[in-house]
Structure 1
């Protein structure tokens, strides 16, 4: 596996491909819903490649000067259960810390809260986000 910090159109296309194949297609999410106001030229993406083929991604963007939002953590179905999602999140955290962020936050689907707790995130069940497709829980972690 190769981890890249998407800096080119081709690398960003890899992130978009994974999101379309593993989420938009499966859950019938429209492109307008999947690609929101946080998908901009300034948004950063981790892309994980298997022999130059994109298999996982994670999006990150600033919430404020101290806090980064991680999201759209997606692994193609045939690559799940191999630690690749964990690798994507850890890579995004490392990059975020290098950029000077001290807090990582995310909105986890309810059924994935345990995954993020194992990575050191704390859930705030008083902050539930009910979207059109998923109910999500706000989670945070200090980046040290």
Structure 2
């Protein structure tokens, strides 16, 4: 087993609480590391686990978990947990895991899951939709579809996700969330392969040759992937194609680092919008 065997990795750092009296990671914690990586894997294939598996009509239950120990992880090690779905049966699936420090394999593991009815916990066939998602992801293909269009065309998906993120999660009053700008904005929505909206945003043109990104929202279980980046990059390309020279946005301060990594620069003072701290940021287009 080597790093190149995996498309997906989840990174973590060894904590003090995970070290035993031998000053190495206690053996049982490696299963926790792998389970954490499995959860992140579902995020990478754009499936918010709770709602997605409700749509799929079942849950995954561990049938068997095995580990092989090759070397020990130490305090403060930065680990990469590789995860891949290596086999799909009628009702079961096999995930292979590799825990690496750099290129060195420390732990290899295998998890066998069974897709089952959550009420009776009896197995049932893996839905074709789930089977397809896993196969195309492991084949290196995209598991999402991004569409750009008008409010009339994309309202259903955009409104549902903005309600989930801004109104319910961030408790922004509905009367502040919806405004007259939606009707004239360019909107983007990303859907997963189950037809769930998982990321959205809008693009305004407040003055000639200036675009403004706003209403950026990503489904909470899927944050930390690249869905938000895909929306931003699509908007930057849209702005460039229509001849705009600059893209601006009002970033929630908690997301400032995300936009900086995409090339945006902050300027001005922090201000509040809907009770949340924001900072203005901009990106010059060549």
Normalising to structure 2: TM-score of the pair? Answer: 0.47
Q: Which residue, 112, 127, 138 being the options, matches 2:280? A: 138
Partners of 1:101 and 1:31 lie apart in 2 by 31
What is the root-mean-square deviation in Å for CA atoms of aligned residues? Answer: 1.4
Partners of 1:6 and 1:81 lie apart in 2 by 25
How many correspondences in the alignment? 142
Q: Which residue, 107, 124, 130 being the options, matches 2:250? A: 107
**1:73-112 superposed Cα distances (whole Å, 9 cap, x missing partner):** 1100122111111111111111111122110000011111
Which segments of 5 or more consecutive residues in structure 1 lack a partner in the other structure? Answer: none
Cα offset, 1:10, TM superposition: 4.7
Match of 1:45? 187
**1:50-83 superposed Cα distances (whole Å, 9 cap, x missing partner):** 1232110011100111111101111001221111
- Of 41-50 and 1-10, more deviation after overlay is shown by 1-10
Normalising to structure 1: TM-score of the pair? Answer: 0.91
Match of 1:54? 197
Match of 1:30? 173
SS at match of 1:38: helix
Q: Which residue, 209, 214, 228 being the options, matches 1:71? A: 214
Per the alignment, do residues 66 and 24 of structure 1 end up closer, same or farther by CA in structure 2, a change over 3 Å counting?
same
Per the alignment, do residues 61 and 8 of structure 1 end up closer, same or farther by CA in structure 2, a change over 3 Å counting?
closer
Q: Which residue, 264, 269, 276 being the options, matches 1:121? A: 264
Greater RCO (Cα-Cα under 8 Å, separation 6 or more): 1
- Tell me if the contact between 1:6 and 1:12 (Cα under 8 Å) persists in the aligned partners: no
Partners of 2:180 and 2:153 lie apart in 1 by 20
- Tell me if the contact between 2:147 and 2:189 (Cα under 8 Å) persists in the aligned partners: yes
- Bigger radius of gyration among the two: 2
Match of 2:237? 94
- Tell me if the contact between 2:151 and 2:187 (Cα under 8 Å) persists in the aligned partners: no
